[in-house]
Each structure stands twice: as C-alpha cells, then as structure tokens.
C-alpha cells in the first residue's frame, strides 16, 4: 500500500510534514540548500527584525541541559538574525527560484504596526510562501523588538495588521506556552484573520548555577541571563498546547518543541498538528535526520493502515476528555515481570513513599501484595526496565482490549 506523506498546511501542499524551525541552521543559505536537497519540505528562516543589527551577539549563546548524563534540552540566549532584511529577502528569492516546490517561511518580529506591515509586504514581494510572526520571545524583550507578554488583545491586533498586509499569502502566529491562556490567544489569532499558529516557542528558563563560581549558566564574562529552553524537555508541554488548540479553534497548527524522532512527530500529528518544525534535533544529529524521520513515519503509517497524513491528523483527539469524564471504578494492579527486573528496588521505594506500600522484597525480588495494590502506577513510572505492567486482577470483568 502506497503511503502519501504530503500534507496541506494553510492552503499550501507540502511534500511531507517536516519543516526546519527558525534557528542557526536556517540562517545560512548553503545549509538550507543542503536541507532542501535532503528532503525537508520547508524551512522557517531565522527571525529578522527591521533593524536586527541593534542587538549585538554575546557568547556563549547555547548551553546543554542534562539530567543524570542524559540530554534533555538546550538553553539559548540568541535573539534575531544578524542579517539585514535585504539579505533575508534575497535568500527567499534564491531559495524559491531553486526550489519552487519547497515552502519558504520568513519569521518576522516588530513592535509597531508600520514595521509589521513593512516587513510583511517586503517578504511577500520576495516570494515568501507563508509569513510567520514571532510576537513574543523568552528573553531580550528589553531591546524593544518584541512584546514582553503575549496577550490575546495584542496578538489579535498584530494578526490583523499582518494579514492585511499579506493579502493572499498565509499568516502564522507563533504562540507561547507561558501565555496564561493559550486557548484564548489562539482564538484571538483566529479572530484576527490569520491562517494558522505555531506552537510552541521556547520557554524562558535558567540552565543552572555553577556551584563553584556561583554564577548561573551561561557565564558571559561574569554574568548571565535568562534564555529559551528547547529540546525533549518541551515535548509534553508542546503536545498539550497542540491538543488544546486543535480542540478549540479551526486553525492549521505547526507544532514545535521537543520533536526528536519520527515517533514524536506521529504523536503531534495525532493530536492535531499539520506540520512539524524541528530545531534542536537537527543541531544534535544533522540535516540528514530527515531520512529517518520520513522513513519511520511512512513505515508506521503502512503498519497502521493509514494511506495519507490527513487520516492521521487529530486521530487521537477524541480520546482526550475532561477529568470528570474519565471512567471510574476500573481496578488495576501492578504485575512485575521477573525476566525484565534488574533488582534496582526503584519500585519498592516508590510504593513505600508515594504508593500504598504494596510491594515487598522477598528472596532478592520485588513482589506485589495484590490486596494492597491500588493501581496508582507510581512503581511502573519509576521502572526504567519497563518490567511492570498494570493488569486487571483475576476475576475482574474482561477488559482485554484496554491497555493500561
């Protein structure tokens, strides 16, 4: 069965849902050419302002964030592109001439109606397929290139300004998970006439503190600042935002935040995304990651019987309900698979400190006291070997089709 990876986004057809997010990778023409040749469907250029040169770079720009040696994200203190608007216009022209079927998306940032509309008109004239608006940034707002807070009223106004200037060219508004009500802001985007949203921007963060010097990271000549968190740590938040937006507004969604594998991408599509913007994974693994992303998604779709991306988008949304609508009275208990258990005792500790003290240690192996287990799942959550499953106790009504 042939699988079609193409997707409709804001009225445009993309050959697949994978798009480069605005980043250092999309600020270099040679890398963009390499990416399009490799199979990326499009790219969002690094954000540009009317006068990007007002912000001079500081170094280092990026810090790794890890937990127990595992990579969980990056924090960056980079801001807008240092390239001029003229340079970025020419980049759009060059890319569209060479790759007419790829989607080229300038990302713009401004603080006045005149600047929002001026940038929009210039990039539309250069041949941009979509205009993406970066209204709020997690750091550096004091430079005056973006708003300090993304609120529904201001966002609606900017969406209307930009759409007015863009004409038939689609407009996408980038949203922040730090918004107190991202649904209200998405609704405001819809009222403002924009065609889609990108969710989410990086999240304002601090990487950590050097316990020897007492200076937070990154250390820039003895001082530090807040930055934007990206990477795997953002995935649960970005998934939530994608689903909430999809359930409440009729806008196309470009999801961004923590997408590293094709499995991640499939989850975002199932929760309502149409396209997938990727940055941190590209910085880690290179432009060539697109081959694995496309092949993995295509293989999964074949296995599940999906013939097109359209059949995947939003497929999991009906399973998301309000907490009050969750089924009550279904009892489950933990079951430990001895062949997978490595004897780390994590389940024992978790059950004693946060569960119902239903796990005992006997002859070098954890055992569940069935009449004490309430099925909370804390032990399963703490088991890195995936040796614990939740099952219906013997004698319960058959629910073999339910996966706990």
**Per-residue pLDDT tens digits for 168-219:** 999 999 999 987 799 999 999 999 999 999 999 999 999 999 999 999 999 9
The answer on pLDDT for 141 being more than 70 is: no
Average pLDDT value for residue range 400-404: 51
Which residues are annotated as catalytic? Answer: 137
pTM: 0.94
Same-domain check for residues 383 and 265: no
Within a domain: residue 105? Answer: yes
Same-domain check for residues 258 and 367: no
Convert the pLDDT of each residue in 25-36 to its tens digit: 999 999 999 999
d(CA 190, CA 159): 8
Within a domain: residue 402? Answer: no
Same-domain check for residues 297 and 373: no
**Helix axis angle, 152-166 relative to 182-191, nearest 10°?**
30
List the domain range (segments joined by +) for residue 339: 327-391
Same-domain check for residues 139 and 158: yes
d(CA 27, CA 287): 14
CA torsion, points 238, 243, 245, 247, in degrees to nearest 10? 180
Within a domain: residue 342? Answer: yes
* Listed residues 319, 341, 371: the one ending a domain: 319
Within a domain: residue 399? Answer: no
Within a domain: residue 176? Answer: yes
Q: Give residue 144's pLDDT.
A: 58
DSSP codes joined into one string, 188-230: HHHHTT-SEEEE---EEE---B-TTT-PBSS-BTTB---EEEE
Same-domain check for residues 174 and 235: yes
Within a domain: residue 148? Answer: yes
* Listed residues 265, 289, 319: the one ending a domain: 319
Same-domain check for residues 219 and 90: yes
Within a domain: residue 398? Answer: no
How many distinct structural domains can be found in the chain?
A: 2
Average pLDDT value for residue range 397-403: 47
Strands 48-49 vs 107-109: parallel, antiparallel or unpaired: parallel
Same-domain check for residues 291 and 331: no
Q: Give residue 137's pLDDT.
A: 76
Evaluate whether 276 touches 257 at the Cβ level (below 8 Å).
no
CATH number of 209's domain? 3.20.20.70
Same-domain check for residues 363 and 286: no
* Listed residues 289, 319, 349: the one ending a domain: 319
Convert the pLDDT of each residue in 34-71 to its tens digit: 999 999 999 999 999 987 656 678 889 899 999 999 99
Same-domain check for residues 271 and 341: no
Same-domain check for residues 371 and 242: no
Same-domain check for residues 218 and 276: yes
Q: Which structure tokens are listed for 134?
A: 């970066």
């Amino acid at each position: 069965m042939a699988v079609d990876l193409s997707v409709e986004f804001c009225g445009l057809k993309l050959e697949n849902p994978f798009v480069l997010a605005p980043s250092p990778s999309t600020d270099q023409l040679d890398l963009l050419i390499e990416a399009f040749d490799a199979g990326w469907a499009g790219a969002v250029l690094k954000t540009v302002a009317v006068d990007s040169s007002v912000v001079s770079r500081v170094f280092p720009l990026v810090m790794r964030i890890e937990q127990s040696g595992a990579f969980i994200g990056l924090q960056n203190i980079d801001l807008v592109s240092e390239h001029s608007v003229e340079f970025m216009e020419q980049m759009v022209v060059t890319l569209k001439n060479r790759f007419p079927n790829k989607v080229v998306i300038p990302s713009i940032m401004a603080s006045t109606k005149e600047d929002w509309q001026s940038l929009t008109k210039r990039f539309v004239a250069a041949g941009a397929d979509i205009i993406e608006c970066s209204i709020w940034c997690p750091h550096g707002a004091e430079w005056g290139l973006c708003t300090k807070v993304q609120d529904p009223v201001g966002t609606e106004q900017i969406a209307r300004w930009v759409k007015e200037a863009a004409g038939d060219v689609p407009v996408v508004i980038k949203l922040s998970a730090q918004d107190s009500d991202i649904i209200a802001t998405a609704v405001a985007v819809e009222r403002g006439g924009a065609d889609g949203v990108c969710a989410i921007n990086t999240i304002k963060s601090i990487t950590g503190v050097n316990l020897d010097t007492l200076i937070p990271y990154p250390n820039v000549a003895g001082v530090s600042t807040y930055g934007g968190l990206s990477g795997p740590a953002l995935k649960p938040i970005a998934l939530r935002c994608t689903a909430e937006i999809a359930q409440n507004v009729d806008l196309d969604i470009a999801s961004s935040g923590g997408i590293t594998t094709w499995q991640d991408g499939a989850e975002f599509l199932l929760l309502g995304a149409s396209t997938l913007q990727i940055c941190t994974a590209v910085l880690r693994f290179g432009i060539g990651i697109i081959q694995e992303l496309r092949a993995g998604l295509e293989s999964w779709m074949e296995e599940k019987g999906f013939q097109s991306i359209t059949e995947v988008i939003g497929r999991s949304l009906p399973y998301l309900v309000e907490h009050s609508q969750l089924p009550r009275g279904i009892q489950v208990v933990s079951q430990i698979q001895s062949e997978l258990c490595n004897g780390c005792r994590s389940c024992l500790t978790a059950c004693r400190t946060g569960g119902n003290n239903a796990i005992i240690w006997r002859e070098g192996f954890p055992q569940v006291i069935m009449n004490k287990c309430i099925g909370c799942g804390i032990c399963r959550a703490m088991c890195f070997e995936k040796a614990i499953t939740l099952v219906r106790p013997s004698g319960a009504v058959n629910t073999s089709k339910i996966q706990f």
